[in-house]
Amino acid sequence: MSSPDPRRWWALAALAAAQFMVIMDTSIIGVALPGMQRDLGFSPGGLQWVFNAYVVAFGGLLLLGGRLSDLLGARRVFVAGWLVLIGGSVMAAAANGAAVEVAGRAVQGVGSALIAPAAMTLLMVLFSGQPKELSKAMAFYGAAAPAGGTAGVFLGGVITEWLSWPWVFIIYVPIGLVILAVVPFLLPAVPGRRTGLDVLGGAAVTAGLALAVYAIVQAPEEGWSSSNTLLRLGGAVLLLAAFVAVQRSLRNPLMPLAIWRTPDLAAANLSMVLLGAAWIPMWYFLNLYLQQVLGYGAFSSGGALVPMTALMMLLMVTVTGRLIARFGTRPLIVTGLAVLAAGLGVLSLIEPTGGFLTDVLPGSLISAVGMSLVFIPATMAAIGGVTPDRAGLASGIVNTTYQIGSAIGLAVITALATSQGADELSDPAALTEGFQAAFLGAAGVALAGAVLALITLRTRRPAVAEPVREAVDA
């Protein structure tokens, strides 16, 4: 076994910080949206693209980012991603119109799509020779994602209240520069494989995923059976089919289809799709319930989500690795999705005259337990069987499925909630009924995920399980 890199834990902190910031970028802008609409002239329908432009670019380019990480070297792509993210942040902060703001957000998404898979590859390189520590490192890194999503709501409220909305983007500049400064000292230089880049395949899969996300996001407004929605979805299917055809014909494709023969890769990614489709709507509508029904402000609403985040991070860092070592990934994924469904079921009991302690805290904590049992095991199941030279690609795939699942789930659950009254802003009872429907719908998604995981995942433990067990027992 190779000697451990003495910088590995400091490097892990930098990688987790990057993951935290990438995911926080999806949520930190929420509280700032009214100020952007007022200052930049967004229409009510166009305002959503401050969020969607980032998600579409991020989800659509993750697969390409993972492949670039393998081909060009993970550290090089990680640095390039931060340079792009900083540039997009400056553009978004300095925007004087709606079009520039949306463009800046899209550039931020491109940078994040380069950072996320490269960070995962670097983590695997740093700890590949130390399997006893890999599960702990994955737990720490994995906890950064949901923590970033929730922290974005809280920090967005603080920044917007005490400064102004451009600062939700400016904050990325100094943090990005600090991370870039420590890269040469902490992160290993990972050589790439100069085998050529599948530009045609990259264009097809990126356009296909982006068009699919765009169609689903727009569908609640334009109608699921409208000609625009059907044409976009049909175009997405054709582009993705063309991508598969290109992959079959090339010697060095963007995504070698043989990677899907890796044990549990497909099943784990299916679990990640359904996890995102249940978890993101839960977080979104819980925040709306706190603000629109219970009357919480942006700052207090973010604070109300802190217990959920703290419990989730605590379990991921201290418990999940031990459970993986003892039981393997499959039981945790199945159980976690079932627990998440139970937590969402509890949240569906919210009342218009409810309170934090009775209506929010119990269900949110149960949901946090479920999330902590699924996210890391599903990620490990998805990437644990691939060879090191394909770690970036596998990471790109699992990040893509989670983001696409999140976008699809939020769009579908939003349509369900709206049909049940979630758009009646002046009627707390109708709002609550819509939010109840959203939580029940998300619970159904999580429960379906538990059943499918039970059927599709294998029962074997991951390769790192026994070493982790030894580390835990030592």
- In a shared domain, residues 140 and 222: no
Give the residue from 253, 279, 299 where a domain finishes: 253
18-38 burial code (b ≥16 CB/10 A, e <16): bbbbbbbbbbbbbbbbeebbe
Per-residue confidence at 436, pLDDT binned at 50, 70, 90?
very high
- In a shared domain, residues 46 and 193: yes
pLDDT at res. 345: 95
Q: What is the CATH number of the domain that holds 265?
A: 1.20.1250.20
- In a shared domain, residues 275 and 176: no
Give the residue from 212, 234, 253 where a domain finishes: 253
Per-residue confidence at 339, pLDDT binned at 50, 70, 90?
very high
- In a shared domain, residues 182 and 284: no
Whether residue 180 is predicted with pLDDT greater than 80 in this model: the reply is yes
- In a shared domain, residues 236 and 122: no
Average pLDDT over residues 398-407: 78
Confirm if 170 and 322 have CB atoms less than 8 A apart.
Answer: no
- In a shared domain, residues 212 and 156: no
291: Cβ contacts below 8 Å, ≥ 6 apart: 297, 298, 301
pLDDT at res. 343: 96
The boundaries of the domain holding residue 313 are: 258-474
Lowest mean pLDDT among 260-274, 284-298, 388-402, 409-423: 388-402
- Which residue has tokens 């930190």? 28
SS3 186: helix
d(CA 280, CA 403): 10
Q: What is the pLDDT of the chain when averaged over all its residues?
A: 81
Task: List, for residues 270-327, the tens digit of each pLDDT value.
Answer: 999 999 899 888 877 887 788 788 888 767 777 787 888 888 878 887 888 788 878 8
269 closest CA partner among 336, 333, 320, 317: 333
Q: If you write DSSP's letter for every residue of 101-145 in order, what string do you get?
A: HHHHHHHHHHHHHHHHHHHHHHHHHHHTT-HHHHHHHHHHHHHHH
Give the residue from 222, 253, 284 where a domain finishes: 253
- In a shared domain, residues 203 and 290: no
- In a shared domain, residues 4 and 128: yes
Number of domains present in the structure of the chain: 3
270 closest CA partner among 114, 386, 374: 374
- In a shared domain, residues 245 and 113: no
- In a shared domain, residues 296 and 410: yes
- In a shared domain, residues 60 and 144: yes
pTM of the model: 0.76
According to DSSP, residue 390 is labeled: G
Cα 315 off chain centre by: 19
d(CA 326, CA 232): 46
d(CA 137, CA 151): 21
- In a shared domain, residues 220 and 270: no
